[in-house]
Each structure stands twice: as C-alpha cells, then as structure tokens.
Structure 1
C-alpha cells in the first residue's frame, strides 16, 4: 500500500492509526505554495490518550526489558523505510523543500542507516556491571550497577531535517527500552506520520510503545513537558522554546534534553587558502537555504584580507541561485514558510539599518513569484555586535567579520550566547587543532573534517542546549542508573 495513499495522514495512538479530534490541517509545498494534502489535527484529548498509551506500554509490558524485541522492531522499521525510500524521498522534497541531493545524506538515507547504530548498541550494551564485593561499614556486599530505561519519553521535533531528528530521538529512546510520544512540527507532519504507517504495517513494535501526534497547535506539544506521566522530554528547536520546555518540565522535575540554536563561526586563519575556505563557507551557509542549527553563519577572516574574503564568498554564493528542490543540482531550495521568509527579510533589513551592505543577495529572488525563496546573501561591513551576528537567522545568510589574529578570532567565535558548532581553516593542521581546542562549542570541523556520524555525539555548550544526541552519549541520555547492593 502506498504511503499516504489518500494524501491524508493519521495519528498513531495505542497501536492504531486514527483521525485527529480537531479534524485536519493542510501541509504545503514550500517551493510551489501548493497544498499537498492534509494531516490529522490532534487536540489535547488526543495527546492525553497518547501519553496514557505510552505509560501503559511501559508499565505493563516487557518492552523495557526485552532487548531482542526492541532490536527486531528497530531493524524492521529501518527495512520498511528502505523499502519505501523512493516514496519517502519524494515526500521529503515536496513537504520539507529539501533539495533532492540532500535526501541521499542527512535528509533521508543517512538517518535510515543510522538506525543500525541504535540496534547494534542495544545488542552489545553492558546493561549490568558487577563492581565485585566490598565491605562498606563492615558489611560484606556485592555491588551491581544497572542501566535501565527512563520510562515515557516525549519527543518534540522541528521541520528542518525531520527524518534525521525524528529518528535520532526514536532510535535511541526505543533501543534503550523507553516508550515514546512524538510531536512533530506543524510544518512537516507527514514526515512523522509515515513512520506510524510503517510501524503498524511492518514491525512487531507493540501497541502504545510509539505514539505519533501531529497537530497545528504548538500547545499540544507543550503538554508533554507538563504531564507527570512523562518521565523525559527530548526537544530540538529554538532556544526560546527550549526555555519554555525546561520551565514546564521543572514542575515535575523530569529530565529535559535540549538541542537548541546556534550562531556558529567559520574561522579562517591568515595562512589558510582564503578563496577555498570562503567558498566553502558560502556553500555551507546556502545548503538547504541555511536551515540548519549547526550551519556556520559567521565567516571570521583576517582583517588584512577582508575585502578579498567578501569577494570570494559572494562569488560563490551569487552562483547558488535558489532553485527547484526536485532538481538534482539544486543546493539552495526554499525556506519552509512565508512566515520564515519574512522573518529572514527582517534580519536582512536590520543589517542595512546598522550600516552593513550586501555583497550579494539581500531579498527574495525577482524571477520567482511562487514559493518561499530567499537569495543567498553575504553581509559585509558589520562587526560581531550586529544583530545578524548575534541571533540565529535560519536562512541562507553569511555575515563576514574581520579578526586581528588567532586570539581575536577565538574571542569573536566564543563571543556568542550559543556554542553549537564551529569550523577552523589553516594551512597548519596543528595550529588549526589548537584553535579548535579553544572553541566553546560541541562540534568542530577542522580543515574540512566531517563530524556528522551515527557514532559521534552532537550537541552544544551554553544556550545551544543540554545533553547530547547520537553516539553512545546520545543513547545513554535515555537511561537511568541504579545501584544495587546485595549482602554477600
């Protein structure tokens, strides 16, 4: 049966695909503004049922202790996604506006492959550790450390890389033995809802273990943070919303994982290939219209080479015209919505108001009367105090900032409320590594290295979040630690 064959998705609650009590809401193609179809619109009552189902599945079944079942279910979901990869690819391009080329990487095929790490980790993980016998307080005692699932996980995800982020939460949470309620962004409900179809039709995952609740109302997702039946909330999104999630979770002192915003710096040292480095920075900032939290959007270059750097970056960016995401050669597709396009334009206007200039771009492309497109833009003439250098724009916008040597470059990079990612380019690997070691960020690309991988932890310092996703560290975010002492 084709995925979303009727162009209408359902909620997954307690093992059943059901309609939303609030009716439906439209999902829109951001490249054409055409309505693709509709998604189930959940209400607070639907979320209440989903949380209840997840609670029962955790408390009353053996899911949390049956490693073999969990591994089988994850591998079955992975195989089902592979079997439906072409349908998922077309859905992702149309609903997310993701360029086709990215669906061979982090927009689809990468996250599907990453599920293997989750299943493999569950199979090989040391769930119990024997610390041997000791005599604390004179009592001969055998000590054991047990790692156990936290319980019910509420996952709240954004629209920019929906498959990657949905599976980066579902995979490790399920592998660790938790049950889950997934609330995706209203902009990309289908990317989550199709998982419900695949789980019901192609896996042995028991009813209630996975619940998927799509809704046009952000407040429905906020219920996950407040409900005492939810033991942990795993949230990816803006820093402002992350604060609200953390505040709501404080009432029940539930664990909160937060992967938040970024304003990452791309540092070019004075011995680097300036043209090559600046071109790479421009390419990176334009990819998927700049809609990535870890994308480097501040290009920090030697002051003596500032004009040359701006020219190199603008030369590359001007050639990356916003295009049809169905075209295999498109790098920069649309942004997700008219609201996001207008928000980005507000930032571009602020750059001019503060005395900056556009070396290329600066607005919506004149040759497109449909779709939510923004020209890749290089901003020059501003320092690190400008609004476009301080705040996350989430668009194809690169601000070029001058530095006065290595120490100043590090100062500028670290002078940010965020600390998610960074890049260093130098002709000397040891020098670049030394700079990387001084950056207060969670991931660093040194001279073109790639940190994205299923076994590498991802997350940030400061206001970029709390905890790590992916890797062993990401798996262990979903575990509790129990100390057991037995009289020997």
Structure 2
C-alpha cells in the first residue's frame, strides 16, 4: 500500500474486514459465546467505537479446553512427526503474511500501534513459524544414551499437552506467534486467550489458523476478562500455562500453577536500564534511547526506561533527549508522518498520568512532556515525557509505568551504574553503551538481566527472551522456547530398537 493511500486510512476501513468477530474459534468452528457476550472496542486513535468482538464466559473456557483436550488425547496432531507438523506451521506463516495489511490495521485501530511500522513487521512475526518449522529437522526429539543400568536408553521429548497461551494487549500478534509456533511444533494443542483490550488481531489470526487447515481443536482462540481467564489457568484439563503480562498477574498465575503442579512460563514486567559509559557519544546515545521510548508509545515490557548516566553528563543528556522528544510528531497511528501514536486505552493513559504526577511530587525534575500534545484527545494521548535528577528509590524508577516516560538517574562511577542497574525488582532487559565490545561484555556479565544488548534497544527471540527476578520464569523463543513445551521421557530397553519414527504411537 503506498504512502498516499495509507494516509487516508482509519479504523473504519477495517470495521468489516473480519468474517466472524462476534464469535469464538473453538474446535475448528466459529461459535457464539455461551455465557459471555459481544463488546464494542473504542479505537484510541480517534476515540470512536470501532468493532464488536465476542468475549467468552466460564462455559466458553470449558468448551475451548475440552476441544483442545480431545485434539490432544484423541486427534492426529501429537501423533504426527515433527516434520509433518512443520508443514502446517509453514502454511500458517504464509496465511499470516497474506493478512499483513489487515493485521497491521487492526493493531493500529485497537491499540494505537503505528500502521506503517506494523505492516512492515507482521511478516517478520509470521517468520516465527518458519523458524520453528526448520527445527523439525535439527532438534533432537529422540536421543540415544548408554544407561548405567545396562541395555539401551532413549531420551524422548514429548509434548507437554494442552497449553493455555495468554497474551497481553500491547503485542498480541508477536507474542501469540512466539507461543504458538513452538507449542505446535512440539505437538501441543492450544487455547489462545486474547486480551479484552485488543482481541481483533487475534480473531484475524484464528482466520489464518482455519485457512491453514490445522486439525480441529489444535488451536482455539477466545477472548475473556481476567476473572474468566482464571478459570483457564485453574482448569485441570490444561497442562501448561504460558503467560505474558504484568508481574502482579504473573505472581497469581504462578501460584495457581504451583497448587496443581501445572507447568508455566511467565514473561512479566520490566524496568530496564540503559547505561551510558564515559566513552560513548551523547548525541548517539540520545538517538537510541529517545527512539526506543516512543515505540508502541512506551508500552513495551523490555523498554529502556531507567537511563543511567555519569553525573557530570546528565545536563547534556537531558538536553539531547528532550530535543528529540519535542521533535516527535504524536498523533493518528494511520498517518505515515506520525512518530508516536496514542496510549492503548483511556485507563492506560490515566495510569501514566498518575505516575507522572507521582514523579513530580517525589521531587524528580520534569524536563519535558507530562501532558497531551495540543489538539489531541487527553484521554488517550501523552507527549513523550522526560524526568531528570531521579533517585533510583523513586516510584517512577521502581515501578513499571508502561508509557513514554524516561527517568534519568545520575551516578558517580561505572560500579555505581551497575549497582543502580541491578537495584531493581526486575531484570528483563538492559543495554550498555560503549565503543569497547570487550568492556561491554564484561559489564553485561555483571548485570542481572535476561537480555543485555550493546549500543541499542535490542532483543532476540531467535536466541531466547525472558527475565531474572520478578521479570519472569523461563524463556520464550529459540531452542529454550521449544523445550518449554516438551516433557523429557526416559525409555530404558534391553536392546536397541530396530527402527523408530519421531512420532509417538
């Protein structure tokens, strides 16, 4: 789609793009909610009603789990070879690519993501399925061992079972792909639960699943409130929960899973540091942290929000970041010239406003931002906001704001910088800015963080993604992400088998 055409788009262009938004996708069919209902979403970019989407109730959760359970216990999916399942993954990725513009438009409409950016990266998310499909031939699903008890041993990797995949509103497609692809390659069946704030993109994903021809019940897609979602987490028919969201919700999910010894992967909150070392250019540093702060309006769990700088350089850093923030065009997410869209909802915008007020009251210095830009709806829009002279004990330095707010924290030495970076309940992401790669690696090894990048905001799900401390349990992406959906089984035989396939009987 060319830039001129994109500029004329709005959320209303996607109002009738979905075939069955008022239904849930369960057991390979589009079904009306039994005990939920249909709710209308408000598009944050315009503040107007956008689309009515089905929400499930308790009976709908039970129906989805039953469908996934039947597909796992009695269907062909877990009994296929990984190579056979990989062919379906490849088809599903292609169906997502075919819906790139639709999915980009839905994400812009329902949570304010920039349409132009999202349209370019949807194919990258779809590539997750090709990434895991390629593992069908490289991952050791069956390994031969020499047992200490004699005979021949095999370590067999088998699917963990029925999985509940719960994704948040800020990156529904990306996170759904990184949960679905490894789970499906492993042979699991899935109940994918969309956030009530941003369900439409995952309705489109369900259409892609249907078009790819996956067996009935292998992937079920529902939307439900948090209270109803607890039924999914507690359901005895669910073997594993994969959750991405807030640390508070993750703690509750982890406790529920512990009660019934269900497996879980938790990718939770962050308060990630960006550390400026003495040798790095301030303007280049400001370019990186300012552009990262406006990505999805700062609604990114791995966002670099604690900006740790040498005390003598704080003034120049603040001036440089403020200049870049003030140049950002905030506005309509469908406009190609927009640099940052709205917050995803009025509730989220209100949360960010309360944190900004708390920062002021606790003595941090507001350098720029803090209000909606002129002419934009203050229920949804917030200017990129910068605080200086922030104490690492301040609320805005301790708690995840989930908005375009940076806290600049001055320090007296490199050791002080590392101590401040590690003085957090979170440990999801970090970046070290220095021209010395060897030194960056040494500093990275001292940081308590699941990812540490060099000279930029970077994460890589093809290797692994997840956090230390209260940022989560387990990893998504890469080989660790596949292992999270597998159970190792030890098989001890008197003699070697003459022939085996990768599929269980």
In the superposition, the TM-score normalised over structure 2's length comes to: 0.92
Q: Does 1:157 align with 2:171?
A: no
Offset of residue 5 of structure 1: 4.0
2:58 equivalent to 1:44: yes
Report what 2:9 is aligned to.
none
**Separation in 1, partners of 2:420, 2:116:** 33
Distance 2:156 2:19 in 1: 46
Asked if structure 2 preserves the Cα contact closer than 8 Å seen for 1:28 and 1:35, the reply is yes
Give how far 1:379 is off: 0.5
* Deviation readout 1:242-282 (Å, 9 max, x if unpaired): 01101111221100100000000000011110121023112
Question: Which of 55, 66, 82 is the matching residue for 2:69?
Answer: 55
Instruction: Map 1:397-436 to 2 at 5 A.
Output: 397-436=405-444
Report Cα offsets for 1:330-375 as digits up to 9, x if no partner: 2311111000000000000001101122111012223213761111
- The gaps in structure 2 that reach 5 residues or longer are 1-14, 496-505
Instruction: Give me the whole-angstrom Cα distance separating, in 2, the residues matched to 1:25 and 1:73.
Output: 32
Q: CA deviation at 1:198?
A: 2.1
Task: Work out which of the residue numbers 457, 462, 484 in structure 1 matches 2:464.
Answer: 457
The root-mean-square deviation of aligned C-alpha atoms, in Å, is: 1.6
Rounded to whole Å, the distance in 2 between the matches of 1:195 and 1:288 is: 20
5 Å matches for 1:242-281?
242-281=250-289
* Equivalent-residue separation in structure 1 for 2:89 and 2:22 (angstroms): 22
Cα separation, 2, equivalents of 1:101 and 1:456: 27
Q: Does structure 1 retain, via aligned residues, the 8 Å contact 2:17–2:102?
A: no
Q: CA deviation at 1:241?
A: 0.2
After the TM superposition, which residues 90-105 of structure 1 pair with which residues of structure 2 at under 5 Å, given as runs? 90-104=105-119
Contact preservation (8 Å) 1:269, 1:405: no
3-state SS, counterpart of residue 124 of structure 1: coil
CA contact (8 A) 1:70 1:205 kept: no
Counterpart among 189, 199, 203 of residue 189 in structure 1: 199
Query: What SS does the aligned partner of 1:276 have?
Result: helix
Structure 1 partner of 2:29? 16
2:221 matched to 1:206?
no
Q: In the TM superposition, what is the alpha-carbon distance from 1:125 to its structure 2 partner? A: 2.2
TM-score (norm 1): 0.95
Q: Provide the aligned length of Structure 1 versus Structure 2.
A: 479
Contact kept? 2:244, 2:268, Cα under 8 Å: yes
Q: Is the 8 A contact 1:288 1:332 kept in 2?
A: yes
User: Partner of 2:79: helix, strand, or coil?
Assistant: coil
Is the 1:377–1:398 contact (alpha carbons within 8 Å) kept by the matching residues of 2? yes
Task: Flag the 1:120–1:221 CA change in 2: closer, same or farther, 3 A.
Answer: same
Cα distance in 2 for partners of 1:327, 1:224 equals 39
> Corresponding residue for 2:503?
none
What residue in structure 2 maps to residue 229 of structure 1?
237
Say whether the 8 Å CA contact 2:96–2:123 is kept in structure 1: no
Distance 1:122 1:223 in 2: 33
In the TM superposition, 1:302-317 aligns within 5 A as 302-317=310-325
- 2:309 is aligned, of 301, 305, 309, to 301
Classify 1:262/1:135 alpha carbon distance in 2 versus 1 (closer, same or farther; 3 Å): closer
